[in-house]
Amino acid sequence: ATPISVMVAVGRAAQIGILIRKGEALQTAGKLTCLILDKTGTVTAGKPALAEVLAFGDYNGSQVLQFAASLESGSEHPLAAAILAAAEQRGLALEKVRRFQAVAGHGVTGRIGDRQWLFGNAALMAEHGIDTGVCRDKLAELAGIGQTPMMLAVDQAVVGVVSVADPIKPDSAQAVRELKRRGVRVLMVTGDNEITAKAIAAQAGITEFRAQVLPQDKAETVKTLQQQGELVGMVGDGINDAPALAQANVGFAMGAGTDVAIESADIVLLQGSLLKIPEAIALSQLTVANIQ
C-alpha cells in the first residue's frame, strides 16, 4: 500500500505545479546524483526566432530565407517553425519542394525546380562533401553567442546562412545553482553543435555538456552515466527525449512539451520552470524522511 505521506506529498506537489505520474519517482527524486538537461525547450525557452540572414554569391538575403523556408515547410522541427514564421512575416512566397527529406540531427534536403538544395548544419554539408570555408568564421561567431546557424547550399556550394536564436529561460541559471548546491551533478545534452552548446551551457552555469548527440543517442548518454554508478534524472520536452526520459531513474517532462515526452516521464513540470526540479527533490527528501 502507498504510505499516506506519499499521497500527501503527491497532492502538495500538484499544488505547486509538479505532477507526479508515478509514486516511486517521488521517493527516488531526492536521491538523484546526476541530472541531464536537454538544451532546446528545457534550458532555453524553446521558442527559437530568426536572428540573422547572410547571403553569398548569386542570391540575396530574401532569396536565402525564401529557399530555406521552402525546404523547411515539410519539417516539424522547432527550427523550421522559426524560419517559416520569419518568411511569412516578410511575405515571402514558398517554392514547391519535391523529394523532401528530413535528416535527423542534420537538416533538410529537397529539389526546387531542377536543382538539389540542402539546408542544415556542418554535418549535413560534410555528408554531401560541400566546402563551408566561405562562412566558417561567421558560423563560429554566431554559435559563439549561443545562436544556431544553418547553411543553405545548392549545386554543391553554400549560398547563405540563416541563424536562429533561442535564449535561456530567465530562471535556468538559478535552478542550476540550486541543484549544484544540493550536490547534484548537472549535464546538458543537445543535438546542436559544440560551440552553441558551450555558449548556452555557460550562460546557464553548466560546466558539463554533450553536443551533437543524435536523437537516438540521448538514451545511451543516460545509460552510460548509470553504468558509472550515477542515479540519473533526465529533463526534456521533445519526441527526441522520450527514450532518454524512459531510461532515466526519474524522467521529468516540461508541461509545454510534446505528448510523447509527457507519456514517457515520471514527473511533469506544469509551468516549465527548471526551479521546480530542486523543489521536487526537496519534497522527495522530506517525504522519504517521514516514511522512515
Active-site annotation, residues: 38
Closest separation in Å from C-beta 278 to Mg ion: 20
**Edge-to-edge order in the sheet of strand 18-20:** 18-20, 267-269, 250-254, 232-236, 34-38, 185-189, 208-210
127 or 182, CB closer to ligand ADP?
127
First to last CA, the chain: 15
Size of the site for ligand ADP (CB under 6 A): 23
Q: Extract the C-alpha cell encoding 133.
A: 570555408
240 or 247, CB closer to ligand ADP?
240
Compose the 233-262 pattern: x for residues touching Mg ion by CB under 5 A, - for all others: ----xx------------------------
Residue with cell 547571403: 55
Strands (DSSP E) contained in the chain are 18-20, 34-38, 49-55, 98-103, 107-112, 115-120, 148-154, 157-165, 185-189, 208-210, 232-236, 250-254, 267-269
Q: Which residues contact 103 (CB under 8 A, 6 or more apart)?
A: 109, 120, 124, 127
Closest separation in Å from C-beta 287 to Mg ion: 29
Residue type, 131: D
Which residue in the set 192, 237, 266, 279 belongs to the binding site for ligand ADP (CB under 6 A)? 192
Closest separation in Å from C-beta 258 to Mg ion: 9
- Per-position DSSP letters for 243-284, written without gaps between them: HHHHHSSEEEEETTS-HHHHHH-SEEETT--TTHHHHHHHHH
Asked if 257 touches ligand ADP (CB under 6 A), the answer is no
CA dihedral (275, 35, 270, 167) in degrees, to 10, reads 70
Closest separation in Å from C-beta 290 to ligand ADP: 38
Q: Extract the C-alpha cell encoding 55.
A: 547571403
Q: What are phi and psi of 22, to 5 degrees?
A: -130, 125
Asked if 41 touches Mg ion (CB under 5 A), the answer is yes
Report the partner that residue 273 touches, choosing among Mg ion, ligand ADP, none (CB closer than 5 to 8 A by kind).
Answer: none
Which residue in the set 18, 20, 34, 39 belongs to the binding site for ligand ADP (CB under 6 A)? 39
Asked if 210 touches ligand ADP (CB under 6 A), the answer is no
Residue type, 82: A
Asked if 48 touches ligand ADP (CB under 6 A), the answer is no
Which residue in the set 107, 110, 160, 233 belongs to the binding site for ligand ADP (CB under 6 A)? 107
Q: Which stretch binds Mg ion (CB under 5 A): 9-17, 159-167, 232-240, 267-275?
A: 232-240
Asked if 40 touches Mg ion (CB under 5 A), the answer is yes
Q: Give the number of other Cβ atoms within 10 Å of residue 223's Cβ.
A: 14
Report the interface residues with Mg ion, using CB under 5 A: 38, 40-41, 237-238
Report the interface residues with ligand ADP, using CB under 6 A: 39-40, 72, 75, 77, 79-80, 102, 105-108, 119-121, 148, 150, 190-192, 215, 238, 240
